[in-house]
Amino acid sequence: MKLVKKLYTELRLKEKQRLIKLIKDKFELELSKELSLDRVSAPLVVTKDSGLQDDLSGVERTVSFDVLKDGRDLEIVQSLAKWKRQALKKYDYKAGEGLYTDMTAIRRDDKMDETHSIYVDQWDWEKVILSCDRTEAYLQDTVRKIVKAISTTSKMIKQQTPAGVEMCDDVYFITSQELLDLYPTLSAKEREYEITKKHKTVFISKIGDKLSHGEPHDMRAPDYDDWSLDGDLLVYHEVLDMALELSSMGIRVDESSLIQQLIKSHKEERESLPYHQAIIKKELPLTIGGGIGQSRLCMFLLGRGHIGEVQSSYWDKETLQQCEELGIELL
């Protein structure tokens, strides 16, 4: 852990909890205002055979169990990327309208370090768009609105505590291929670090498809984001001297991009699942959406050195010992 001690401001546990609540309340208001979103309730579990589970990068194991009454297999959601699109249809949302929800999940295969936990909490959001909105310009405009919501929240927190961090709201946009061309000898994470340290707030787009060196910048499931219209929002987290991902988002697949991406990832068998058939038959609305990490955002805006300072989770002995040695108090 590269904690920069001179930039780390101590916060008492009670004060931290108060500030976390302020951040979440303020950001929700700003996000819903900027993107015209309503708050809705969302499921914690989905059936295994529904096709609604988010496979993330495609290798993570889900947390599953069977129900006593009927024996059906259920899985704790890994994100709500697919459920939200169905919800927009069910609730009869129109173009320009959308929803957001508090999503909590268990990702058993996530590593445990200063920015990762097996417990995931994020704002999952989704918005109906028109066919003409499926453009890079619309994606970038949406990113700027999210950044504005974060920036407004950061200014409020900065007034509340000396630990507060003000966000740079000037977003630097770059594609994953352009980033590789810029730093051809570095790994994907090293490239993210260099570009984010330089520009502070960065959106790396077009993630999922193979780049010129034969590998994708990062793995993406083939059936929610359109790989040509997606990306990650990163900020430079000074207290840890690192690039911190706050959000993964994108314009969702239509029938054409879904089939193409299933073929590229050798997942053609998914075409027969109910969710995928609904997209192919154009029964679901065109949408844009994503997830914004709640604990990640609090960690960044409060200048924290470990995600365990802003969420209660499970930590191994090595993590507990390392934090104690650094004077980091976990919740």
Where in the sequence numbering do the catalytic residues fall?
A: 54, 107, 122, 232, 245, 248
Q: Are 296 and 104 in contact (CB under 8 A)?
A: no
Q: What angle do CA 9, 235, 165 make, to 5 degrees?
A: 30
Q: Are 280 and 295 in contact (CB under 8 A)?
A: no
* SS3 of residue 318 by DSSP: helix
Q: Are 82 and 53 in contact (CB under 8 A)?
A: yes
Q: Which pair of structure tokens corresponds to residue 270?
A: 């998914």
Question: What is d(CA 203, CA 260) in angstroms, rounded to the nearest whole number?
Answer: 24
Residues near 271 by Cβ (< 8 Å), separated by ≥ 6? 259, 262, 277, 280
Q: What angle do CA 207, 209, 76 make, to 5 degrees?
A: 65
| Residue in 89, 152, 153 with CA at minimum distance from that of residue 126 | 89
Q: Are 106 and 118 in contact (CB under 8 A)?
A: yes
Q: Residue 232 burial by CB count (10 A; 0-12/13-18/19+): exposed, middle or buried?
A: buried
